[in-house]
Amino acid sequence: MSERGLTAAIGRCAREIARLAGDVSLAGWVCAAVAILNAICWSAITPPFQVADEPSHFAYVKQLAEAHARPSSHTFEFSPEENQILIDLHEEPSAILPPSGAISTMAEQHKLKQDLSSTAELPRDGSNAAGVATSQPPLYYLLEAIPYEVGSHGSLLTRLELMRLFSALFAGVTALFVFLFVREALPARRFAWVAGGLSVAFAPLLASVSGAVNPDSLLFAVSAMLFWAFARAFRRGLSYRRAAAIGVITAAGLLTKLNFAGFFPGVILGLGVLAIRAPRPLSRSYPYRAFALGAGIAASPVVLVAIVNLTTHRPTFGLISSVATTISDRGSIFSALSYIWQAFLPRLPGMRSYDAGVFTTRQIWFDGLVGRYGWGETSFPEWVYAFAGILGVAAVVACARTLVLLRTTVRARLAELAVYSVLGLGLLILIGGASYASAETETFTEARYLLPLLALLAAGLGLAIRSAGRRWEPVLGTVAVLAMFADDIFSQLLVIARFYG
């Protein structure tokens, strides 16, 4: 492409973004601002490197920014600079051993400052080891390299703080697109958009993850964008532009975190359904060309990775191929399905028990969404989860009631709902499958893995609020936002007590 062509393309792209931004109401921007402020608070509350895997993610960015290469070692032998600061911050003892909190004395602070100065003099040659982050795609880390470079003259903690602040912006993007998704999906009820957007903006788990260096923050944002793009296409029809948008968002998601691959079957199905339903004003092949455009762009990272891996004699789809092989090695497909079922729902008669004594739906996923922080050890008293459980069940019943009341609309939008269901199921199967493939004691399932489905959860909340009828809908919506705000405030106190109490 010539320079003039490139400039024109960038100009068109900028105009398109400006047009879309102009289409967002003030309420959407307020939801985004609240989410960013919340995530910034969490970034300051959580001690450095005390969010799951943050040392690994930091090491990945360091390697990209300093060595201009991806890390290749899965070990935890990070750079001398990072290792020294992790020791000074008691990262290991706080994370793995009985809680000891963050540093607490001036002597420890003095030692930390000394080491921050001395390690800043060390050669900046990256960190080839990035632990659990090594196998992840690079998009988030490339973006995080920007604040890393901006703070490159500062200490390691300065760089980390800038990276966390940058990450907090993705919480805003997530809340904004959740608002936009609910607006497209439930156009008749304006208050549902606001309640959904604000509830997500105050969601403590979203803020705690987005307030740290973690690719999940971008994953949540891209996932919310994907749901919005589908809702928009289902409401307004498939065009080249909308198909390309779905493709670009999917490609960005696949380049952000492997978990996004769970959405891929749903994306292809969604584009297919949109193509079949599309009116054919210009030509019969127009929708199919739009489908090919979207699917082609979406699949481009997968094809690229497959080609690179095949030429370097590695598993075709990298870690996902390895997981699939491990699943087939561990037993029959039925045992894998049974495990995946039990990872999310109570065991059915005839199924082998994988989590005896643990009600995964509640104890892992629901309680985790209400709030478990750090390495899972920072949690509320049991009665809080029980109380939240009552509210959760009430919300599910209310949502179901609205769906029954709106059955005519539901029937008319069945294909759209099926696509959202396949998107969600794909993610759940990927999470459960990855857990099944791991060695039994190494599985580590966390509620944050469900946050790519925030858009659906917010829409569910919108439907639940609607069950109250026009008269009481504002009250119920306000109660939902207040409940989320309360969860956020008390979660912050919980983490403060854990690390600084």
Residue 410 lies near other proteins (rule: CB under 8 A): no
User: Which residue lies nearer to other proteins by CB, 252 or 481?
Assistant: 481
181 forms part of the interface with other proteins (CB under 8 A) = no
- Of the candidates 395, 387, 404, 369, the residue with the CA atom closest to the CA atom of residue 477: 395
| Stretch of 139-147, 277-285, 377-385, 450-458 contacting other proteins, by CB under 8 A | 377-385
Residue from 375, 405, 406, 410 touching other proteins (CB under 8 A): that is 375
- 474 is a contact residue toward other proteins (CB under 8 A): yes
Q: Is 492 in the site for other proteins (CB under 8 A)?
A: yes
Q: Is 201 in the site for other proteins (CB under 8 A)?
A: yes
Sequence-distant (6+) residues with CB within 8 A of 470 are none
CA distance 341 to 338: 5
Residue 379 pairs in a beta bridge with: 372
Q: Which is nearer to other proteins, 171 or 229 (CB)?
A: 171
CB of 99 vs other proteins, minimal distance in Å: 6
- Cα Rg for the chain, rounded, in angstroms? 23
Does the footprint of other proteins cover residue 191 (CB under 8 A)?
Answer: yes
376 binds other proteins (CB under 8 A): yes
Number of residues engaging other proteins in binding (CB under 8 A): 85
Helix axes 26-45, 156-185, angle to 10 degrees: 150
Q: Rounded to an integer, what distance in angstroms lies between the CA atom of residue 214 and that of residue 220? A: 11
d(CA 251, CA 249): 5
Nearer to other proteins (CB atom), residue 260 or residue 373: 373
Q: Which helix (H) or strand (E) segment is 433 a member of?
A: helix 414-437
Residue 128, C-beta contacts closer than 8 angstroms, at least 6 positions apart: 63, 67, 71, 72, 73
Alpha-carbon distances of 31 from 172, 213, 217, rounded to whole Å: 7, 22, 16
Residue from 22, 51, 112, 341 in contact with other proteins (CB under 8 A): 112
Query: Scanning residues 419 to 458, which ones bind other proteins (CB under 8 A)?
Result: 440-445
- Give, in degrees to the nearest 5, the angle at Cα 85 between 81 and 87: 120
**Binding to other proteins by residue 102, rule CB under 8 A?**
yes
Q: Are 472 and 195 in contact (CB under 8 A)?
A: no
Cβ atoms < 10 Å from Cβ of 159: 23
CA neighbours within 13 Å on the CB side: how many for 203?
32
Position among 98, 123, 349, 469 found at the interface with other proteins (CB under 8 A): 98
Which CB sits closer to other proteins, 308 or 475?
Answer: 475
- For residue 491, the minimal CB distance to other proteins (Å) is 12
Q: Please list every residue from 24 through 43 that binds other proteins, using CB under 8 A.
A: 27, 30-31, 33-34, 37-38, 40-41
Stretch that binds other proteins, among 62-70, 129-137, 241-249, 474-482 (CB under 8 A): 474-482
Binding to other proteins by residue 258, rule CB under 8 A? no
Q: Write out the H or E segment, with its range, that includes residue 488.
A: helix 469-500
* Binding of residue 96 to other proteins (CB under 8 A): yes
188 or 282: CB nearest other proteins: 188
**Residue 431: helix, strand or coil by DSSP?**
helix
Query: Which pairing describes strands 372-373 and 378-379: parallel, antiparallel, or unpaired?
Result: antiparallel
Which span sits near other proteins by CB under 8 A: 189-197, 284-292, 315-323, 420-428? 189-197
Nearer to other proteins, 334 or 500 (CB): 500
Do 120 and 155 form a contact (C-beta atoms < 8 A)?
yes
**Binding of other proteins by 99 (CB under 8 A):** yes
Min dist. Cβ of residue 280 to other proteins (A):
36
389 binds other proteins (CB under 8 A): no
Q: Given its phi and psi angles, is residue 53 left (phi above 0), alpha (psi -120 to 50 degrees) or beta? A: left
How far apart, in Å, are the Cα atoms of 390 and each of 387, 449, 475? Answer: 5, 23, 18
From 123-131, 196-204, 228-236, 393-401, give the range in contact with other proteins by CB under 8 A. 196-204
Q: Does 188 bind other proteins (CB under 8 A)?
A: no
List, in sequence order, the alpha helices (H) in 202-318.
204-210, 216-236, 240-254, 264-277, 286-311
User: Between 14 and 122, whose beta carbon lies closer to other proteins?
Assistant: 122
Q: In this complex, which beta carbon is closest to other proteins, that of residue 1 or of residue 439?
A: 439
Q: What are the Cα distances from residue 298, in Å, to 101, 105, 261, 303, 404?
A: 43, 51, 11, 10, 35
Residue from 58, 202, 291, 420 in contact with other proteins (CB under 8 A): 202
> Distance between CA 287 and CA 290 in Å, rounded?
5
Binding to other proteins in span 151-170, by CB under 8 A: 154-155, 157-158, 161
Q: Is 67 in the site for other proteins (CB under 8 A)?
A: no
- Please report whether residue 315 would count as binding other proteins according to CB under 8 A: no
Segment lying near other proteins (by CB under 8 A), choices 9-17, 329-337, 373-381, 418-426: 373-381
132 binds other proteins (CB under 8 A): no
**317 forms part of the interface with other proteins (CB under 8 A):** no
By CB under 8 A, residue 485 contacts other proteins = yes
Nearer to other proteins among residue 182 and residue 249 (C-beta): 182
